[in-house]
Amino acid sequence: MNTRLTVGLAILCALIALLLFTLPEPERPAETNNDSANSTTPLQPIEEILDTPPEPLSITDPKLLQEYGSTSSTPIDDLERVDNVLQRFWLLYKNPDLLRVGSNEEIVESLTGSNPDGIAFISPDNTFIDSQGRLLDRWGAPLFFHAQSLTHIEIRSAGPDKELFTDDDVHTVSRSSIRPR
């Protein structure tokens, strides 16, 4: 019995060795010149990397509408971006009363920095904000904001015909999970 076990182990070891020698060698990265005299970027010590805290994720970013109106997106994508900005406003303030919801201009004022902390959720220099402070759709017509309540705002684009409430309108409703006080 000991002989069978020894022979079995020897065969197993031979098979493993054969397998290891027949497997292709893994690709290795190309060798680089580690000569510090030729290096243009000094390496950062690992201790500094480990001690550097990660940057906190920000819910505010004036570039939130940067892709708004781009040819690589759709009109509904534009409205979803506006919804995203409203959601971030509500998430930060947790008080829907702080968003001025009377008109396009008032909403844009709140989102461009006229809020308790002066935070610009969207850049006041955005090319889709006209001289009257209104956010325009991709066809140059002002978006229509209809506050159904403090936490439900319909966002409507007049569409290519630039007339509200026709068949080519694009719209969505932004809903906050925050309850009014």
Q: Using one digit for the tens of pLDDT, what is the confidence trace for 56-111? A: 435 555 567 878 898 999 999 999 999 998 888 888 877 766 777 779 999 999 89
pLDDT of residue 49: 46
Evaluate whether residue 29 is within a structural domain: no
Q: How many domains does the chain have?
A: 1
Evaluate whether residue 55 is within a structural domain: no
Cα–Cα distance measured from residue 106 to residue 101, given in angstroms and rounded to the nearest whole number: 6
pLDDT of residue 181: 55
Four-point Cα dihedral 155, 160, 166, 171, nearest 10: -20
Evaluate whether residue 30 is within a structural domain: no
Cα–Cα distance measured from residue 134 to residue 141, given in angstroms and rounded to the nearest whole number: 9
Cα–Cα distance measured from residue 76 to residue 155, given in angstroms and rounded to the nearest whole number: 10
Indicate whether 28 pLDDT > 80: no
pLDDT of residue 54: 44
Q: Using one digit for the tens of pLDDT, what is the confidence trace for 104-152? A: 999 999 899 888 888 888 888 889 999 999 999 999 999 999 988 777 8
Q: Using one digit for the tens of pLDDT, what is the confidence trace for 29-42? A: 555 455 544 545 55
Evaluate whether residue 23 is within a structural domain: no
Evaluate whether residue 62 is within a structural domain: no
The total number of residues shown for the chain amounts to 181
CATH number at 155 reads 3.30.700
Evaluate whether residue 103 is within a structural domain: yes
pLDDT of residue 87: 87
Cα–Cα distance measured from residue 153 to residue 87, given in angstroms and rounded to the nearest whole number: 11
Residues of the domain holding 115: 75-175
Evaluate whether residue 20 is within a structural domain: no
Closest CA to 143 of 25, 61, 154: 154
Evaluate whether residue 88 is within a structural domain: yes
